[in-house]
Amino acid sequence: MKSFRTEIEDPIVEHDILELERKIFAFKEGKMDEEKFRSLRLARGVYGQRQQGVQMVRIKIPYGKCTAKQLRRIAQVSDEYSNGNLHITTRQDIQIHYVSLDRTPELWAELEQDDITMREACGNTIRNITASAWAGIDTNEPFDVTPYAHAFFTHFLRNPVCQDMGRKIKIAFSSSSKDDALTFSHDIGFIPVLKEGVRGFKMLVGGGIGAQPRIADVILDFISVEEYIPFSEAVVRVFDQYGERNRRNKARLKFLIKEQGFESFYSRVQEVYQSISPKKIEIINSVLEQKKTANFETDAVVDALFEKWKKTNVINQKQEGLVAVGIAIDRGDISSDKARALSEVVEAFCGDDLRFTIGQSILLRGIKEANLPALYMALQQLGLAKIGFHNINDIVACPGTDTCNLGIASSMGLAAELQRVVEEEYPEIIEKHQLNIKISGCMNACGQHAIADIGFQGMTVKSNGNIAPATQVLLGGGILGNGEGRYADKALKVPAKRTPHVLRWLLEDFDTNAQKEESFLQYYLRKETDYFYQNLKEYAEVSSLTAEDYIDWGADAVYEKAIGVGECAGVTIDLVQTLLFDAEEHLDKAKEALTNEAWANSIYFSYASRIRAAKALLTTRAAKINSHDSIIDAFEAHFPLYQSISGASFGEITRQLNTKSPSKKLAQQYYDETFHALNWIKDYRHVQQN
């Protein structure tokens, strides 16, 4: 593979990109294990696709904030390296597909020219930091969480404590107690609170969607804005050290809390927090600056269509005279040409303030109310003035079987059909009721179907020995506010081609029977699950499927269930030689951090080296090695000779990072002890092999 020289000024970023290029070359030359390479590329945003030989690249957009210049850069990259499509995700990222692996370093280098990263967008890391798209303009917010979300992002990016955890960690910052960022469904969530004039957060931990959804626990009712990052690091470190490593389906934070019990988990976090230094980090309070924009005169006629758009797509800001405008993006897909043209509109009308939303759409902010007719006309010309923002026709859908290895059924095809049904047959409901539909292609819930008014999950059904695509219907999910939420109930499963009939019945029944001002959730809870099952069960019958039922939405061929290896959370690596190689690499990083006087980083890299080296030997024994904690205990039990030679307990030395604050002396001592431990382990293995 031909190398290239990046134009990146930041040497850390340049090192990252060149390392990815070197590792791609080593992998293709057969010098790197496939599982090790997969783990590395995932942490750099490069994800395998359902289609062989191409990659999905996930571009990290912290809290969804994107400038017009950055949007143009992403559009350019999509044209050059992909297929000219940008897919907005429910985590405010951008995904582009069909990228050649060889070209990913070059692609990344181009993105970084406008300060856009792919680092830790996938894999067992802290994923993109999500936040309310209304942060800074929300009329109900105690303060703008944007600078705090940004500080969290910068603190943990490339932080050694979260580079190779048992599974991913997802973070959310809501703008107010309305909790529009869904903190209750996240590993760590923050809701802003003012306590006697002091800024802080209500902090939640252990939420999640997936196959076993869980509402997050409140770990602190209030933590100051100076303390939330160090305390969060303690949570992450406890998860890294005690979390499950082998069983991927049990390796999220929610399972660790369930296994340990909340009080025990909280005690461990408090213990680790005492060793973290500093315990307070000052965050600069920034005030949202609204850039001045021109006043636009237009001959646009303010007609009934404009008024409908204004009702469903325009939101008042807390800044007087300014509004935000929502742009519904069909299934989160926007072409590079439209994105490029939209960037010009952004600069003209809202001074460069654009946010991608968790609803896979776009929010323009800081619009002068007087400029709305002109903006409407500009968006109409781009085909981006559709009525209904974050409403029932603005359907959320993951890529499903279009590109995802784990997809069971077509999310995108189903979403397109349901959108057509709503817009053509029930247009009045878009204005009349606030409803949402979310679709996932599998149980992993990337489309957030479990927290929707009406959710659909891709599945299969069997009929006469044949498999047909199906849809699990879920009802009654949503936000309750202030960190509380409700996960939807499973109503029934129907063949996929009958899903539109289910939606028609639901909309007609709700529109007819809902009480005045009653939300869909209230209506659902009043009617109860069995009411819906009894009325919809006729659609679940599978004994008389037609040929059409065996063809999924958006497909031409007969359905074939084909699920690949999922990469959502990386892969556990157990090969002895790979683990020792990892240990050496981490020890090199520890030495580099020592040289740079980054004591805390050096200590954690040394810790990671010790764990990997110990696990390398333990893979040859019948030992429990499903967490860092169990690895430490197992090493002491299986290799008592180490203590007799070194004079110190392996566990006592390894666990120092939980009991002592980082310092130059500790970092050097920790490095030296790890250096000797790694050499002892390598020598021991050499003797055993010979």
More confidently predicted of 327 and 619: 327
Please, which pLDDT band fits residue 647 given cuts at 50, 70 and 90? confident
Same-domain status, 418 and 318: no
Res 690: pLDDT: 62
Please, which pLDDT band fits residue 645 given cuts at 50, 70 and 90? confident
Res 293: pLDDT: 74
8 A C-beta contact, residue 332 and residue 317: no
**What's the token pair of residue 149?**
């979300």
- Identify the domain boundary among 230, 254, 286: 286
Q: Is a pLDDT exceeding 60 seen at residue 115?
A: yes
Please, which pLDDT band fits residue 300 given cuts at 50, 70 and 90? low
Residue 559 belongs to some domain of the structure: no
Same-domain status, 587 and 441: no
Among 227-236, 282-291, 377-386, 439-448, which is the least confidently predicted range?
282-291
Helix, strand or coil for residue 295? coil
Same-domain status, 23 and 115: yes
**What's the token pair of residue 18?**
């060149």
Helix, strand or coil for residue 157? coil
Res 58: pLDDT: 97
Question: Tell me: the pLDDT tens digits for 429-474?
Answer: 999 999 999 999 998 899 999 999 999 999 999 988 899 999 999 9
Same-domain status, 537 and 651: no
Helix, strand or coil for residue 43? coil
Q: 342: domain CATH number? A: 3.30.70.3340
Please, which pLDDT band fits residue 1 given cuts at 50, 70 and 90? very low
More confidently predicted of 401 and 130: 130
One-letter amino acid for residue 631 of the chain: I
Question: Tell me: the pLDDT tens digits for 190-205?
Answer: 999 999 999 999 999 9
Count of structural domains, the chain: 5
Among 170-184, 465-479, 674-688, which is the least confidently predicted range?
674-688
Res 358: pLDDT: 98
- Residue 688: closest CA among 612, 611, 621, 640: 621
Same-domain status, 376 and 327: yes
Question: Tell me: the pLDDT tens digits for 562-584?
Answer: 655 556 544 433 457 778 888 99
CA dist 169 and 156 (Å) reads 11
Question: Tell me: the pLDDT tens digits for 275-288?
Answer: 999 999 999 876 55
CA dist 41 and 570 (Å) reads 9
Same-domain status, 626 and 593: yes
Question: Tell me: the pLDDT tens digits for 494-541?
Answer: 999 999 999 999 999 999 999 999 999 999 999 999 999 999 999 999
Q: Is a pLDDT exceeding 50 seen at residue 105?
A: yes
Task: Please state, as a whole number, how many other Cβ atoms lie within 10 Å of the Cβ of residue 547.
Answer: 7
Query: What is the percent of the chain with per-residue pLDDT over 70, rounded to a whole number?
Result: 95
Q: Is a pLDDT exceeding 50 seen at residue 128?
A: yes
Res 116: pLDDT: 97
Same-domain status, 199 and 142: yes
Res 569: pLDDT: 46
Q: How high does pLDDT run on average in the chain? A: 92
CA dist 156 and 177 (Å) reads 25
Residue at token pair 């005045």: 516
Please, which pLDDT band fits residue 35 given cuts at 50, 70 and 90? confident
Helix, strand or coil for residue 454? strand
For residue 156, give its domain range: 138-286
8 A C-beta contact, residue 631 and residue 619: no
Res 4: pLDDT: 47
Residue 612 belongs to some domain of the structure: yes
**What's the token pair of residue 679?**
């050499």
CA dist 463 and 443 (Å) reads 22
- Identify the domain boundary among 501, 534, 550: 550
Residue 133 belongs to some domain of the structure: no
Residue 388 belongs to some domain of the structure: no
More confidently predicted of 48 and 182: 182
Res 572: pLDDT: 38
Res 563: pLDDT: 59
Residue 317 belongs to some domain of the structure: yes
Same-domain status, 282 and 309: no
Q: 617: domain CATH number? A: 1.20.120.330
Same-domain status, 110 and 147: no
More confidently predicted of 451 and 292: 451
Residue 239 belongs to some domain of the structure: yes
Same-domain status, 408 and 492: yes
Residue 522 belongs to some domain of the structure: yes
Same-domain status, 149 and 243: yes
Q: Is a pLDDT exceeding 50 seen at residue 42?
A: yes
- C-alpha distances (whole Å) from 199 to each of 148, 193, 250, 284 are 11, 6, 35, 12
Question: Tell me: the pLDDT tens digits for 2-13?
Answer: 444 546 678 889
Residue at token pair 């310092």: 663
8 A C-beta contact, residue 155 and residue 186: no
Please, which pLDDT band fits residue 485 given cuts at 50, 70 and 90? very high
Q: What is the mean pLDDT of residues 296-323?
A: 88
Q: 430: domain CATH number? A: 3.30.413.10
Peptide bond into 495 cis (omega under 30): no
Query: What is the percent of the chain with per-residue pLDDT over 90, rounded to a whole number?
Result: 78
More confidently predicted of 403 and 291: 403
CA dist 94 and 86 (Å) reads 6
CA dist 346 and 327 (Å) reads 12
Among 173-187, 332-346, 548-562, 642-656, which is the least confidently predicted range?
642-656
Same-domain status, 339 and 481: no
Q: Is a pLDDT exceeding 50 seen at residue 267?
A: yes
- Identify the domain boundary among 381, 406, 426: 381
Residue 405 belongs to some domain of the structure: yes
